[in-house]
Chain A
Amino acid sequence: MKKIDRRKFLKGSLAGGVVAAATGTTKKAHSAYSFEGYPDSMGVLVDLTKCVGCRTCEAACNKEQGLPAPDKPFDDMSVYDEHRHGGLKRRTSEKAYTVVNRYDIPEKGEPVYRKFQCNHCNEPACLTSCFVNAYTKTKEGAVIYDPKVCVGCRTCMIACPFYVPAYSYSSPIDPVIKKCIMCYDTRLKFGKPPACVEACPREVMTFGKREDLIKIGNQKIRTTPDRYVNHIYGEHEVGGTAWMYLSSVPFDQVGFDTKLGTQPIISYVKDFLAIVPMVLCIWPALFTGFHLLAHRKNARQQDNQTVKSKKEEGHE
């Protein structure tokens, strides 16, 4: 057994070594730079263990953001049994910037509810992918969006690792991205918590400075270790998010993608971005050089001929 394992290991490391040598890049190259977020930026800590799925947050969001009427009343719990394309649970849409889903965990006696919305990343993928700079990460921590410059390419929707931005496809004249802006315009800017946070009867969400929330989260885990899994989702995911979560069950069981890694999305794009200036600087010289090389033979022949003809002229 051990022999095979070791051989496998050796083989693997050899192959890895060859590849690493051939390409000269390692994963560490990514971590050279990262933005930890503005120092006093705010955030929200969502304690899933407290949510009872009353959907008051959804109603509060709808009211605060002036969204159109929902398809079903906000006190209608049958939405938890809805499934959309691919058997997936509800998601954010142009009519709902936040959504609560129910997860039935067999080992647990009661269901777990999970609220989600834009997580307001420290280094937002949507922001870095936008070619008209429509997104802004404010110093308060919100990721806001300017619909007036949006061209509608929808790259931000491709880039968002949480599948958050929605698009008003139904509008032919003015389709724009629709997503949670942490109530920036009406509340956060004035030091007030987002509407959903304030409306939640169970205070599932704690609003405060992001760094304080991490302390609170850790204290909760420490003082009641059997209530929580030992992880604050969003503390490090994709470079850290302003919205973070505590859960009593492993996060992948309640709809979180636990394979996103800790690098912000832009770090995957940097390999390409790094070659841009290189190509811009080196290519002109390189290819003009090729041109000269390719034509040197011709040029020399011509030179020789002219020299020859001159000599002949001289002889005559």
Chain B
Amino acid sequence: MKMSIKRKTLYGAVALLLFTCPCIPGNAADGPEMVELGSLTQYYEPVQFDHELHVGMIESNECAICHHHTLGTPVLDPVCQRCHASSGETDFVACRDCHPAKRFSAEYLAVLEEDINLFHLEKPGLQGAFHQNCLECHKEYGAPTGCQDCHVRSEKGDKFFYSGEYAPEPADNSSGH
């Protein structure tokens, strides 16, 4: 079932790719084909992110949808445009280069504290960045949004969620009221 959804998406994407083929710009090819997202995994297997597939779904100059201003393509959000209309390409473009893996560690909070001129106070951590960015788009375009549509849950995850073979016995309603 889940696989079929995935496959459907894949077919759709391939179709989209075929139709928009002539428009694929040179710079998109600079990106990687597949990216393994697994630095944070605890309860799930690493995600194989098909970068090429997603690049194929957008216009050539729409990298900012995910990469904000870092690739030099025009930023789309008018609020961002105020500063980043022509801020140019940056040296680092991977998500993890800007979005910290440990967003709420004491060390990182101290870094934020020190920089009194810092504007992006609310910049999410890496995990937040992935799920906020990916999921919003998936919701918007009707792509899968369930946790296990993208992630394969490990046994540790089943245990964590009390699911699968760790599911609780159907209990009588004894938990107070």
Q: Which A residues fall within an 8 A CB radius of B?
A: 50, 52, 54, 59-60, 62-63, 69-76, 84-85, 93-95, 110, 166, 169-170, 191-193, 197-198, 200-203, 206-209, 212, 215-216, 219-220, 223-224
Contact = CB atoms under 8 A, between A and B. Distances in A.
A202 B135 contact: yes
Contacts of A73: 161-163, 166-168
B72 interface: no
Nearest to B174: A170
B59 to A, nearest CB: 24
A63 B168 contact: no
Contacts of B175: 71, 93-95
B111 to A, nearest CB: 12
A72 B168 contact: yes
A60 B106 CA distance: 20
A164 B171 CA distance: 24
- Of A50, A84, A203, A224, which is in contact with the most chain B CB atoms at under 10 Å from its CB? A203
A70 B124 contact: no
Interface in B68-90: 79
A207 B100 CA distance: 14
Contacts of A63: 160
A101 to B, nearest CB: 16
Contact of A203 (B113, B124, B177): B124
B132 A203 contact: yes
Given A69-B168, A197-B104, A203-B131, A216 B160 contact: no
A85 B177 contact: yes
Nearest to B153: A75
Nearest to B109: A208
Contacts of B139: 110
10 contacts: A52-B145, A70-B168, A71-B173, A72-B168, A73-B168, A74-B163, A200-B128, A202-B135, A208-B112, A223-B79
Interface of B: 79, 103-106, 109, 112-113, 121-122, 124-125, 127-132, 135, 139, 145, 147, 160-163, 166-168, 171, 173-177
Given A169-B176, A192-B104, A197-B104, A71 B127 contact: no
A197 B102 CA distance: 11
B127 A203 contact: yes
A173 to B, nearest CB: 17
B162 A74 contact: yes
8 closest A-B pairs (Cβ-Cβ)? A203-B128, A191-B106, A193-B104, A73-B163, A207-B104, A74-B161, A201-B131, A71-B171
Contacts of B176: 93-94, 166, 169-170
Contacts of B145: 52
- Of B79, B139, B161, which is in contact with the most chain A CB atoms at under 10 Å from its CB? B161
B160 A59 contact: yes
A70 B177 contact: no
B45 to A, nearest CB: 15
B104 A202 contact: no
B147 A212 contact: no
Contacts of A54: 147
B131 A202 contact: yes
A192 B161 contact: no
B164 to A, nearest CB: 8
A156 to B, nearest CB: 16
B177 A84 contact: yes
A94 B174 CA distance: 12
- Of A50, A71, A93, A219, which is in contact with the most chain B CB atoms at under 10 Å from its CB? A71
Given A71-B175, A73-B168, A94-B176, A52 B135 contact: yes
B128 A70 contact: no
B135 A219 contact: no
B79 A75 contact: no
- Of B105, B145, B163, B176, which is in contact with the most chain A CB atoms at under 10 Å from its CB? B176
Contacts of B166: 73
Given A85-B177, A198-B104, A203-B124, A70 B109 contact: no
Given A74-B161, A74-B163, A202-B128, A216 B122 contact: yes
Contacts of A219: 121-122
Contacts of B128: 200-203
Contacts of B173: 71
